[in-house]
Every structure is written in structure tokens, then in C-alpha cells.
Structure 1
Amino acid sequence: MLQMRIIAPGEHSDRIVELLCEDSAVSNVTLYRGASVKPDGDVIEADIAREGANEVVDVLREMGIHRFGSIHLATVRTWISESGLEADRVTPGASADAVVWAEVTQQAYEDSEFNWIFSSFMVLATVLVAIAIVIDSSILLIGAMVLGPEFGAVAALGVALVRRRFTLLRRAMTTLAGGFVLAIVATTIATLIARWLGWVTAADVTESRPDTSFIYTPDKWSFIVALIAGVAGVLSLTSARLGGLSGVFISVTTIPAAGNVALGVAFGLRDEILGSGLQLVVNLFGMAIAGWMTLAVQQEVWASVSSYRARLLAGRRHSNRPPSDR
């Protein structure tokens, strides 16, 4: 269940209320005349099943409500309402499977912002990976992988392609490139300092590392794992049900590969740089492709569901008309 709050000029309120009241996915509608001060207008609230949110948002956007007002969507975690239950029952699709595109797109913009927090987590995760490689610690490696924030920007690439948001595409690509470059440079500097102090030697990087050797030896399984992780990650982001994003972070070796590239640069180890760089590209490419394909399939599925729901609504309106109006 979602709670929708709309701020709109008074001349649009009656049309919006009519739209909401006619939609079987909406269970409660409240109108507050003149309640909005900035901008001047009315406030309309409604409870709506997740499965029916996209069509309502699309109509509101076509009316231009977002230009001179606002449309807010918030998840209602707990609700007790027979009318709400009926709205959820008669709306095609499952609530947990429903993809609310406005919500997904907003999340993609937030996750792909190149800010101080994103940069800090990228650097900290990559430095931790470098330490994990030096001491060959799989536990520390997993911790660093979970700390990495890059998947949100990777998923944003798929959202940008599917929803044709090319500004978002440039933003996500810039964030990924900037984040990894910054993390590798910072980790390389930290490694050079450790090397100067005598804490790390080239042998620590090149000797046998059974628990972390996969970082610089990409193969067919690297790409397959990236594909699976990309699908699982996107499903976790688009579903109302809690997913397994932590599992996705642990599955792919983007941050570990970046850390090993930094170690290779610090010690001039060409094979480490090339192997890890290829591993990084394979994982990013695999996740991006899988995310795009998953979102494309979801878009087609929900487009079919929306068409079916539109036919149902049209049939219900027709059946509810008085005989003289038919």
C-alpha cells in the first residue's frame, strides 16, 4: 500500500479527485481545499495499491501537476482497512512484485550522486580490500565488499536505458568512473606510504593467495556471477519485499579488483593491474547488462498488466452506467 499526496492548483482538484475515485486501486481519497500555502492550492491524499500507482502517476504527469505542484509517494508499512484490502485484491498483480517507476527512478538519481559519502565509502572499502589482499583475509575482503556503495550507480545505468533518462545515464557513468578512479588513487597513495614504512612488500602482493587469487584471474564464471548478481540486485531494488543486496555485494569483485589495481600500480606489477582491471570491467559490464535486461523485462510485464487493468476499469465504468447512458 502506498500513500499518495498531491499538491495542485484548485482548478485541477476536481479532475484529480474524480480520477482517484474512479480507480479501483484507490481505497481512500481526502481533499483539503486551500490547504497548501507554497505553492498556493489544494492538498489531495489517497491510499493506493502499489500495483496501480504507475497509471495514476502517469496521468498526473500528463496533466503537468509536477510542474506547478508536487506528487509524493510513501510506503505504508502497516495498514488496517477493508477497503484497502479490497483495492489490493481487485488490482491485477502482486504488491511485492509491483515496480513503481517513479520510486525506482528517484532512487536511481539518489544512488548515482557523486557526493562525499559515496566517495568516502568507495575509498574506505578499497583500502580495506588492499589490506585484505596483503594479509590474504577472506573475512576482511567480504567486509570491504559489503561496504562498497557502487551497485546503486550500476543499477542506475539500467534504469537510465530502460526509462530513456540520458541525463541519469551520464550521471551514473560519471559517478562510477570518478568513484573508482578516486578510490584507486587514494589506495595507491596509502600503499606507497605503507611500502615506504616497510609494512608491505611486492612479495605480499605476488605470493600465493588462495583466498583472494580470484580477484585478478577473471574467467567465464566471473561474468556469469556478475549477471546473476545484477538480476538479483535489481529485483531487490524494485521489489517492495526486502531483498538480498548484501548477497549481491559479496558476490561481485568490483571493489576487490579496484584494490588490487591500486596495489599493482604501487609496486609496478603489470599482470596484477591487467588482470584486476579486466575483472573490474567484466563485473561492471555484466551487472549493468543484467540490470538493464531485468528492468526491460519488468517494464514489458507491467505494461501488459497496466493494459489489462485499463480494460478492467473501462469495463467496470461501462457496467456501472445507468441503462439510459449506455
Structure 2
Amino acid sequence: MVVQLRICVPGELSDVTVQTCRDQRGTAEVTVVRGASVVPEGDVIEVLVARESVEELLEKLSILKVRDVGSISMSTPEFVLSRNADQAERAAPGEGADAVIWEDVTRQTGEDSRLTWNFLAFLVLATQLAGIGIVTDSPIAIVGAMAVGPEFGPLAALAVSIATRKWRLGRRAAVALAVGFPVAMLLAALTAWLSIPLGLFPRDALDKGSAVEFIYHPGPYSLIVAILAGIAGMLSIIGRRSAALIGVFISVTTVPAAGYVAVALVLGEYPKAAGSALQLLLNLVGIVVAAVAVLLFYRMISKRLPDGEARTLRRQGSRSRN
């Protein structure tokens, strides 16, 4: 798998940037268009590089302060026919599927971690679906609620924040969760409270829900499933395997537990509400802890740029800018 980088740099930094890209192991192509960038004024450099080498190259470009004076954008071509690209992939260390591009992981999780109307709407809808599935004893509605729930985004962002110490990202994710779940649960409780006098479900609805008992009966497997889901979810983000995320959503009991707490409180089923709240807590903690462990493992095995090479790049960048 190869990745295309588009780099805009001032003319004085162009040569050292081009040389850095050419010297990077795993580079297949380097193209320079002089004076093509108007804002900021400078050159445009396009690089085709093996995914395994992207993180190291981005680290070098960061040392040159390319992002401070220009820009770097990344895309993945769907189809590349190139002997040079094949050779670059063979020359690059490791496997593309195992490569972590930290800026990309941060960006992906950061986009899904904000408290937006879109996030809130999906969480409210998912919790409403969960409430309907609970009072009608419908596993299908529960699964639908799991699939619709957007909560994994902020949980993944929280894990990235802890692993990389980007606390701003973590604060934003924590706000999304701390506001989103109470609002969704309050609206689910309001819906349940209004539905009872309308005769949409009886007051003893929770006594007949054998298919959804797992929600308020947390146990060892609740935590185990959450941990497995956290691992799978973070691996899918790292490897950009969006299809695997759907399985992650369906495997965790966060939204159904939140919906059950709301409905149980309205119906006065306080022990079941407490069990559901514990289920929710186990899922949230298990997912975050597992995701952090995955990220820390990848950071541990990631190859860092040698200090000597980093110092050389800093000197070259300083000379170019001066």
C-alpha cells in the first residue's frame, strides 16, 4: 500500500524537503512543481511513499518545520500501477497494514470526538431505539441501537489523548461523553414517562424482557467483551478498516445500558437501573483501557528517528530558512 503526500513549502525550504523525501526509504516517486503554490508562496512537492515509511517521513518533515511554514496533506490512491511503488513497498520495513500514522489516527478520532448536534442526534436516536427494544423485548431494536450509537468516536479520542498526552483532545472527548449520555438518557426517560399513560407499554414491561436481561446483569464477560471491542476498534482505526468498526459497535452494550437505566428509573426498577449503570461503566472503562493498551504497544514498537539524524535535519532546515 502506498500513500501520496502533497507538500507545499516556501522556495528556500524546497530543496532540503525534496532531498529528505528522496532519501527516505520506501519512497517511490518525488515530483516538484516550482512556484505552483500561491498561498503560501512556494513550491508543491508530491511524494508517493510506502505506508510503512510515512510516519518516519512525517517526523522528518516536522523537524524541518514544514507544517509551520507550509502544509502537508495525505491521500491513499485507490489504484497504482508502478514498478517503483512495488519496489518501495518491498524496501520499506514492516507491513503497511501494521503501520501507525499518528497524525492520521489523531485526526480521525479528533473529528468524531466533538460535541456536535450531529453526534448528539445520533446518540439520542440510538438511546431511543434501545429504550424501544427494552420495553418491547426486541433484540433487533437493541442491535440497531448499538449500530447507530456514535460513542466509540469520543472513547477512541480519549484513548489517543491518554496514550499521546494530547490533553485538549481528551477534554473535548470527555465533554462529548459527559454531556451526550445524560441528555440522551434524560430524553429516553421522558419518552418512557410519556408512553406509559398512552398505553404504549405496561408498567411491568421490564419483568417480561428475558431477551434483554444481559443489559442489567453485568459480569466478567461484560468487561471481556468491552476489552476485545476496544482492541478491535483501535486496530480498525489504525488500519483504516471501517467495516470492522460496525462489528465493534454491535458488540458493546453502552447505548443499550444507557437506555435501560433511563427506562428502569421511570418504572421504579432501581436494582435493574443500578445493574445497567454498572454495565455502562464497565463498557466505557473496558473500551478505553484496551484502546490505550493497543496504542501504547504500537508506540513501544515504533521506530524513532535517531538523535543524530534529527540534529542534522534541524541544521539543514535552519540554514535553508536563513
TM-score by length of structure 2 reads 0.92
- Separation in 2, partners of 1:264, 1:39: 58
Give the letter for the 2:112 counterpart: D
**1:238 to 2:238 alignment:** yes
Residue 316 of structure 1: aligned partner: none
Residue 208 of structure 1: aligned partner: 208
- Separation in 1, partners of 2:68, 2:264: 51
User: 8 Å contact 1:161–1:169 — kept in the other structure?
Assistant: yes
User: 8 Å contact 1:133–1:260 — kept in the other structure?
Assistant: yes
- Separation in 2, partners of 1:288, 1:242: 19
Residue 264 of structure 2: aligned partner: 264
- Separation in 2, partners of 1:91, 1:185: 52
Residue 315 of structure 1: aligned partner: none
Deviation of residue 242 (structure 1)?
5.3
Percent identity for Structure 1 against Structure 2: 41
Q: Secondary structure at the match of 1:96?
A: helix
Residue 59 of structure 1: aligned partner: 60
Q: Secondary structure at the match of 2:204?
A: helix
**1:158 to 2:179 alignment:** no
- Separation in 2, partners of 1:178, 1:254: 15
- Separation in 2, partners of 1:264, 1:40: 62
**1:124 to 2:125 alignment:** yes
- Separation in 2, partners of 1:299, 1:243: 24
Spell out, residue by residue over 1:10-55, the C-alpha distance to the aligned partner (whole angstroms, 9 max, x if none). Answer: 1110010000111121111111111111222211110011100111
- Separation in 1, partners of 2:203, 2:292: 40
- The number of equivalent residue pairs is 306
Residue 144 of structure 1: aligned partner: 145
User: 8 Å contact 1:97–1:240 — kept in the other structure?
Assistant: no
Residue 91 of structure 2: aligned partner: 90
User: 8 Å contact 1:235–1:243 — kept in the other structure?
Assistant: no
Q: Secondary structure at the match of 1:196?
A: coil
Residue 229 of structure 2: aligned partner: 229
Residue 187 of structure 1: aligned partner: 188
Residue 292 of structure 2: aligned partner: 292
User: 8 Å contact 1:96–1:241 — kept in the other structure?
Assistant: no
User: 8 Å contact 1:229–1:248 — kept in the other structure?
Assistant: yes
- Separation in 2, partners of 1:34, 1:264: 66
Deviation of residue 243 (structure 1)?
4.8
* Unaligned ranges ≥5, structure 2: 310-322
User: 8 Å contact 1:237–1:243 — kept in the other structure?
Assistant: no
Residue 135 of structure 1: aligned partner: 136
Deviation of residue 168 (structure 1)?
0.6
User: 8 Å contact 1:223–1:286 — kept in the other structure?
Assistant: yes
- Separation in 2, partners of 1:146, 1:228: 17
Alpha-carbon spacing, 1:241–1:191, altered in 2? closer, same or farther (3 Å): closer
Moved more, 163-172 or 33-42: 33-42
Q: Secondary structure at the match of 1:7?
A: strand
Residue 116 of structure 2: aligned partner: 115
Deviation of residue 202 (structure 1)?
2.3
- Separation in 2, partners of 1:23, 1:144: 46
Q: Secondary structure at the match of 2:98?
A: coil
